[in-house]
Amino acid sequence: MRVDGILVPVITPFKTDHSIDETAYADIIEHLIDAGVHGFCIGGTTGESYALTHEERIRQFAFSHEVIAGRLPWLAGVNDMRTEDVCALSVAARERGADGLLLAVPPYSTPNQKELAAHALKVDRVAGGLPIVLYNFPARSGAEFGHEFLERVGRSSSFIAIKESSGALERIHMIAREFPHLQLCCGADDQALEFFVWGARSWICAAANFFAREAVALYETCALEADFVLGRRIMKAMLPLMTILERGGKFVQCVKYACTLDGLPAGEAVRLPLRPMKKELKRELRDALNTARTTIRGLISEEAKTHA
């Protein structure tokens, strides 16, 4: 399986009583397909999977599969604290039509590299041959998929890619140089250009929930056309917005609020322990989004005229 293009970790819209709004969820998926994205991640942290019950997560897999209806591939986020629960979610995802799994380090337990490999290989055994994309985000999980781990799991062809969200450029270099069989996937929205320079062909982009066309434009410019001059200009326009998302401390809230600015039925509700964002951050995000959009549209229009 090739992991190519912009894959969106879809938000989970809630009603005012904090129950899942499946009608809004379906509308968001349809909007993203129309915007030209290339796939989805269902049940990731951007979708607040940590705040959903086990039953809600499995229902989300099934419902997403019904809505997507084979039009685009989707990965199931199956992370949890216990290996047994990760395995159960993996089986459920396979049975409900997932095209692959997104597997992170179990949080809080901080396993060593040998323990992590045993965990991942156990998931592999129950996944029935589904491709697995690793998700490295040590700031959230407390441990990383390190060199020793990658060597150990490399014995299985199921591990096809790694979403790298550590923020460490040396990790990009290491994966590209020493593990070329692993597809490199951007998992840090403010480093997309660096990933594409080093050969990444995919970007699991949370911002694409509301910024899909712009993300697709950067992907096409860099990964398909190898135009890194224009790519740098697009990324420069994106950076103030991405910095707010990555370092503002209200990531999910920012993504949901930005969706509402586009008229999407995302709502602003988040489940505990998260709390709503403040007016000052809303204003900062809104201004950065408008500026980025205007600049990027101008760059693309300018480029089109040049080649007309």
Pick from 226-230, 269-273, 304-308: least confident: 304-308
Q: Which two tokens stand for residue 56?
A: 């809600």
Token pair 């199956």 is at which residue? Answer: 78
Is 185:202 a contact under the CB 8 Å cutoff? Answer: yes
Is 101:130 a contact under the CB 8 Å cutoff? Answer: yes
Every domain of the chain and the residues it spans: 5-226
Amino acid at the residue 48: E
Cα–Cα distance measured from residue 132 to residue 89, given in angstroms and rounded to the nearest whole number: 13
Catalytic residue (one of 25, 122, 163, 278): 163
Average pLDDT over residues 99-120: 97
Condensed to tens digits (0 to 9), the pLDDT of residues 127-170 reads 999 999 999 999 989 999 999 999 999 989 999 999 999 999 99
Q: For the residues of 116-168, what is the DSSP string, one character each?
A: HHHHHHHHHHHTTT--EEEEE-HHHHSS---HHHHHHHTTSTTEEEEEE-S--
135 catalytic, yes or no?
A: yes
Phi and psi at 109, nearest 5°, equal -75, -20
pLDDT for residue 38 is more than 80: yes
Is 127:90 a contact under the CB 8 Å cutoff? Answer: yes
Which pLDDT belongs to residue 303? 83
Cα–Cα distance measured from residue 211 to residue 209, given in angstroms and rounded to the nearest whole number: 6
Catalytic residue (one of 108, 122, 135, 282): 135
Condensed to tens digits (0 to 9), the pLDDT of residues 283-306 reads 999 999 999 999 999 999 888 878
CATH class of 5-226: alpha beta
- The bridge status of strand 159-164 relative to strand 183-186 is parallel
Amino acid at the residue 129: G
Average pLDDT over the chain, rounded to an integer = 96
